[in-house]
């Protein structure tokens, strides 16, 4: 199954390190980040789980719940958490889904048979409060994920959901943004009374709106 942007994230019920989880119910009205790992006790993923744990205040600030997954059982996840705390200096503070039957992996297309049919690839899904998939990423086994980039995209999504703007390449919080092409100049004068800089008729830069 291929998960497409704008699609409702498939719901599921599965065991995790924090008990039985019904995914949509667990998300509630929060944003969500679901990310998968090939298996427990793998080196790159050990560093990733530690990195995500250390970002707990950042996830909370953005009203984001994070949840991990691998094909190993819950007791294996718990043993792995000890290694993560020891080596990464941060205890895992979010649930890890146990998916030994590959139910969730199949729902989300996390198994790529030509890579390895027995394990999940390293996927990331960002899901909004309406349960729609807003970002999907798949990383190779050798490259650790950049969770600062995931945060950056969530910042962009939350900003552009609230205002009629889009964000340019390499945008960071506080940088200028782009007036959405759907907004004509007349409407823009009302929305952005302090004005904007027109580089091209289709490329109008404006200061980041503030809530």
- Give the catalytic positions in this structure: 45
- The answer to whether the beta carbons of residues 81 and 91 sit under 8 Å apart is yes
Residue 177 backbone class (left: φ over 0; alpha: ψ -120 to 50; beta: rest): beta
Q: Could you give phi then psi for residue 53, rounded to 5 degrees?
A: -60, -40
Rounded Cα–Cα distance for residues 96 and 15 (Å): 9
- The helix (run of H) or strand (run of E) holding residue 78 is helix 74-88
CB–CB of 97/21 below 8 Å? yes
And the tokens for 168? 């340019």
Write the DSSP symbol of residue 8: B
């Amino acid at each position: 199954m291929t998960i497409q942007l704008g699609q409702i994230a498939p719901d599921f019920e599965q065991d995790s390190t924090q008990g039985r989880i019904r995914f949509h119910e667990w998300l509630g009205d929060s944003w969500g980040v679901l990310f998968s790992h090939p298996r427990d006790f793998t080196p790159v993923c050990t560093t990733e789980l530690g990195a995500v744990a250390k970002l707990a205040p950042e996830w909370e600030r953005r009203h984001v719940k994070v949840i991990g997954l691998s094909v190993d059982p819950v007791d294996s996840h718990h043993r792995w958490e000890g290694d993560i705390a020891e080596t990464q200096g941060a205890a895992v503070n979010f649930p890890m889904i146990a998916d030994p039957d590959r139910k969730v992996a199949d729902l989300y297309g996390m198994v790529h048979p030509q890579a390895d049919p027995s394990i999940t690839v390293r996927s990331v899904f960002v899901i909004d409060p309406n349960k729609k998939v807003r970002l999907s990423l798949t990383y190779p086994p050798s490259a650790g994920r950049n969770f600062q980039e995931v945060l950056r995209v969530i910042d962009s999504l939350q900003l552009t959901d609230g205002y009629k703007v889009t964000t340019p390449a390499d945008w960071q919080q506080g940088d200028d943004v782009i007036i959405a092409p759907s907004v004509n100049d007349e409407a823009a004068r009302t929305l952005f009374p302090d004005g904007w800089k027109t580089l091209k008729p289709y490329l109008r830069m404006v200061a980041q709106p503030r809530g």
